[in-house]
């Protein structure tokens, strides 16, 4: 049911305490977080923050809360009501002023019988049932029917009218191809005589009036409301369909003469589920709402006003997010970006652009790919890119590792590569020794955290109709589990040290007159430092370890020929990718001919320096706030 009790006001000091605690953990998890366009967030007045994609569960909220807090704004998130029913999460949600929202998908229940569609051409809205009772309390006009998950999605049907125990009239006749197949057993839309129907779930209509009223109240007080309009977290390469509630909230507030600024936010993560990953948070231009749309909303033409604003919101999010048709396309885009940014002579391999620029580059490459993917030139380039990526995979190499390998292979004879390998092995040993204390003390945490997070990820994946691999919840559970286990082990080691001191002064290593309070305070300070040192040295060690395998390859005569062939294949691909961009770039983005905006590689360089914006980009100094 929708939320029934008045919302508790945000408790400022508790909000900040919760934020600082979780932001510290998020800061340890991410190696780098860059922020773009934070100056676009108004310093005062009502704000609706529209964030997408929702690809990292509660981490998305914490990151944005920290950014907004640095701008002296506190944000109230719209959160699924089922999360409020969890004691710990619900308590924290109330303390930070979150607004609970009941979702039909959360209360959907399996219904008896099966359903099918007789003929989509003659009776496209008529759903028939076998062993059903549509007249029961479960089924009401305005409710929803959910079909079993297919291709990662559960298709939703809206009930329009209940005709009898075995007949329902849908509101809309436009059905997704997957729904059409599930309801007929065929792609043609005409049921097979042998088709026995499909199982389904049913959910009642959810009245969100009180949720909207709570939002209007917050906005009237110049508050900041945050919403993920996709409705839930996921790990897809494309945005999920946006929920219309965001437009209703904005237009409803404007209809009450509350001035509201709608700010789109794009969240881009680089391997978000992995420890020490990177992220880019980009704030877009505020979304203007015309007076005509507000008048349509007031005068009973809500569908027109809401539909128009939803289109504007979709376009605004598209400008700050990156969507690819699938993971294969996304991998191709990343490969093309790395190839384009490489100097063909390999003389400037270490030059890197920022994460924010990489995100913009990916976004533009995706648009170019989707626009010209069916041209003969693009098809040929895609084929060769896939071949190159397959060769790297067969050799267990990454593209950047090949660059490192090629540098050593090209400039240094084998005799001089061996000392480099020995030096790195020695340095790796030193880092291993420095990491060892923390690794030994907190090995249970390092073992239990990934194990438990994978279990929770599997549970979330089984319960979801939109997740593909469940990566959107993995980082969340890693952080939560680590936050829960770390204090337990700190306390355990502190108590153990106090007991051993009282027993035999730790076999004489601790002075007999050392007070217990000093031992406790030392543990409180030293144990977190040991943890941080283990993370820091372990991170450097892993980076170094990854560089050793390519170097070993350069010492092998067997792999030398393969590396030479891959280097030549890569060199040709670099030229072809750049030629393709130079050929089609200006047709999509007219500003690519402006040399003053695209610096670094001469004229018509669409992607070399991705920053046509003003110098206000880092006005708030937030580029490395974590």
CATH assignment of the domain containing 59: 3.40.1130.10
Question: Are 239 and 302 contained in the same domain?
Answer: yes
Question: What pLDDT, on a 0 to 100 scale, did the predictor assign at position 51?
Answer: 93
Per-residue pLDDT for 225 more than 90?
Answer: yes
Question: Are 444 and 464 contained in the same domain?
Answer: yes
**Domain final residue, candidates 203, 226, 247:** 203
Question: What pLDDT, on a 0 to 100 scale, did the predictor assign at position 1?
Answer: 38
Average pLDDT estimate for 211-218:
89
Question: What pLDDT, on a 0 to 100 scale, did the predictor assign at position 608?
Answer: 37
Question: Are 307 and 397 contained in the same domain?
Answer: no
Higher pLDDT, 620 or 347: 347
Question: Are 393 and 483 contained in the same domain?
Answer: no
Question: Are 530 and 516 contained in the same domain?
Answer: yes
* Nearest residue to 202 via CA among 164, 154, 239: 154
Pair type for strands 277-283 and 144-146: unpaired
pLDDT tens string 9-66: 566 788 888 888 888 888 888 888 888 888 999 989 999 999 988 888 888 888 999 9
Question: Are 421 and 482 contained in the same domain?
Answer: yes
Q: Which domain holds residue 69?
A: 12-102+208-320
pLDDT tens string 417-459: 677 788 888 888 888 888 888 888 888 888 888 888 888 888 7
Average pLDDT estimate for 229-256:
87
Question: Are 20 and 96 contained in the same domain?
Answer: yes
**Is residue 307 domain-resident?**
yes
Question: What pLDDT, on a 0 to 100 scale, did the predictor assign at position 392?
Answer: 85
Per-residue pLDDT for 221 more than 60?
Answer: yes
Computed over every residue of the chain, the mean pLDDT equals 80
Question: What pLDDT, on a 0 to 100 scale, did the predictor assign at position 6?
Answer: 46
Distance CA 548, CA 424 (A): 7
The total of other beta-carbon atoms located within 10 Å of residue 421's CB is 16
Estimate to the nearest angstrom the gap between the alpha carbon of 508 and the chain centroid. Answer: 52
Q: 569: which 2 tokens?
A: 């294949």
**Domain final residue, candidates 320, 348, 368:** 320
Q: 306: which 2 tokens?
A: 């809401």
Question: Are 347 and 312 contained in the same domain?
Answer: no
Per-residue pLDDT for 253 more than 90?
Answer: yes
Q: Could you give the maximum distance between any two Cα atoms of the chain, in Å?
A: 92
Number of domains in the chain: 4
Pair type for strands 277-283 and 156-164: unpaired
Question: Are 440 and 315 contained in the same domain?
Answer: no
**Is residue 153 domain-resident?**
yes
Per-residue pLDDT for 609 more than 70?
Answer: no
Model pTM? 0.76
3-state secondary structure of 157: strand
Question: What pLDDT, on a 0 to 100 scale, did the predictor assign at position 2?
Answer: 40
Question: Are 438 and 543 contained in the same domain?
Answer: yes
Go through the chain and tell me how many residues it has.
626
pLDDT tens string 524-571: 999 888 888 887 787 778 878 877 877 777 677 777 777 778 888 888
**Is residue 626 domain-resident?**
no
Average pLDDT estimate for 268-295:
86
**Is residue 31 domain-resident?**
yes
**Is residue 488 domain-resident?**
yes
Most confident of 73-87, 468-482, 514-528: 514-528
Distance CA 622, CA 626 (A): 9
Question: What pLDDT, on a 0 to 100 scale, did the predictor assign at position 381?
Answer: 92
**Is residue 184 domain-resident?**
yes
Higher pLDDT, 187 or 13: 13
Higher pLDDT, 6 or 105: 105
Question: What pLDDT, on a 0 to 100 scale, did the predictor assign at position 188?
Answer: 60
Question: What pLDDT, on a 0 to 100 scale, did the predictor assign at position 93?
Answer: 81
Question: Are 436 and 471 contained in the same domain?
Answer: yes
* Nearest residue to 60 via CA among 22, 87, 89: 22
pLDDT tens string 471-512: 778 888 888 888 888 889 999 999 998 898 888 887 888 888
**Is residue 456 domain-resident?**
yes
**Is residue 93 domain-resident?**
yes
Distance CA 537, CA 180 (A): 55
Per-residue pLDDT for 616 more than 60?
Answer: no
Question: Are 95 and 241 contained in the same domain?
Answer: yes
């Amino acid at each position: 049911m929708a939320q029934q009790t008045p919302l508790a006001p945000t408790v400022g000091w508790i909000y900040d305490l919760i934020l600082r605690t979780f932001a510290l953990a998020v800061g340890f998890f991410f190696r780098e977080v860059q922020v773009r366009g934070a100056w676009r967030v108004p310093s005062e007045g009502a704000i609706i923050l529209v964030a997408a994609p929702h690809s990292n569960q509660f981490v998305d909220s914490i990151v944005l809360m920290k950014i907004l807090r640095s701008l002296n704004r506190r944000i109230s998130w719209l959160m699924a009501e089922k999360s409020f029913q969890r004691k710990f999460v619900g308590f924290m949600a109330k303390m930070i002023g979150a607004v609970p929202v009941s979702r039909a998908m959360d209360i959907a229940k399996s219904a008896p019988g099966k359903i099918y569609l007789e003929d989509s051409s003659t009776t496209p809205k008529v759903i028939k049932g076998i062993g059903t009772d549509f007249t029961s309390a479960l089924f009401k006009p305005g409710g929803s029917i959910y079909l079993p998950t297919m291709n990662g999605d559960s298709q939703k049907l809206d009930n329009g009218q209940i005709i009898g125990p075995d007949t329902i009239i849908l509101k809309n006749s436009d059905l997704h191809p997957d729904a059409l197949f599930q309801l007929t057993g065929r792609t043609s839309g005409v049921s097979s005589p042998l088709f026995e129907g499909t199982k389904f779930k049913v959910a009642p209509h959810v009245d969100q009036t009180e949720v909207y009223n709570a939002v209007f109240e917050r906005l009237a007080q110049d508050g900041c409301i945050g919403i993920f309009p996709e409705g839930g977290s996921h790990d897809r390469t494309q945005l999920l369909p946006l929920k219309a509630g965001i437009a209703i909230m904005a237009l409803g507030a404007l209809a009450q003469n509350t001035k509201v600024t709608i700010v789109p936010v794009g969240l881009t993560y680089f391997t978000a589920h992995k420890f020490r990953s990177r992220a880019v948070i980009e704030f877009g231009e505020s979304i203007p709402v015309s007076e005509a749309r507000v008048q349509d909303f007031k005068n009973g033409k809500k569908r027109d006003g809401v539909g128009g604003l939803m289109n504007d919101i979709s376009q605004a999010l598209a400008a700050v997010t990156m969507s690819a048709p699938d993971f294969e396309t996304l991998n191709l885009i990343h490969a093309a970006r790395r190839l384009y940014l490489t100097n063909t002579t390999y003389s400037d391999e270490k030059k890197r652009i920022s994460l924010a620029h990489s995100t913009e580059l990916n976004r533009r490459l995706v648009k170019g790919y989707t626009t010209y993917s069916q041209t003969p030139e693009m098809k040929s380039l895609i084929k060769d890119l896939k071949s190159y990526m397959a060769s790297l995979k067969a050799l267990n190499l990454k593209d950047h590792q090949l660059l490192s390998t090629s540098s050593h292979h090209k400039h240094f004879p084998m005799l001089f590569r061996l000392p480099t390998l020995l030096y790195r092995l020695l340095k790796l040993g030193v880092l291993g020794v420095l990491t060892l204390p923390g690794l030994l003390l907190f090995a249970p945490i390092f073992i239990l955290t990934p194990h438990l997070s994978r279990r929770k990820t599997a549970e979330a994946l089984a319960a979801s109709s939109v997740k593909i691999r469940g990566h959107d919840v993995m980082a969340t559970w890693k952080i939560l589990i680590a936050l829960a286990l770390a204090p337990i082990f700190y306390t355990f080691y502190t108590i153990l040290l106090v007991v051993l001191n009282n027993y035999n002064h730790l076999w004489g290593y601790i002075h007999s007159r050392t007070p217990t309070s000093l031992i406790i305070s030392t543990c409180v300070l030293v144990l977190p430092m040991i943890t941080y040192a283990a993370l820091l040295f372990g991170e450097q060690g892993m980076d170094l370890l990854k560089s050793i395998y390519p170097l070993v390859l350069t010492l092998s005569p067997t792999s030398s020929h393969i590396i030479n062939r891959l280097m030549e294949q890569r060199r040709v691909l670099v030229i072809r990718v750049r030629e393709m961009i130079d050929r089609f770039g200006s047709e999509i983005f007219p500003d690519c001919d402006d040399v003053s905006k695209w610096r670094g590689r001469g004229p018509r360089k669409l992607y070399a320096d991705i920053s046509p914006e003003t110098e206000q980009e880092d006005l708030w100094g937030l580029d490395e706030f974590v």
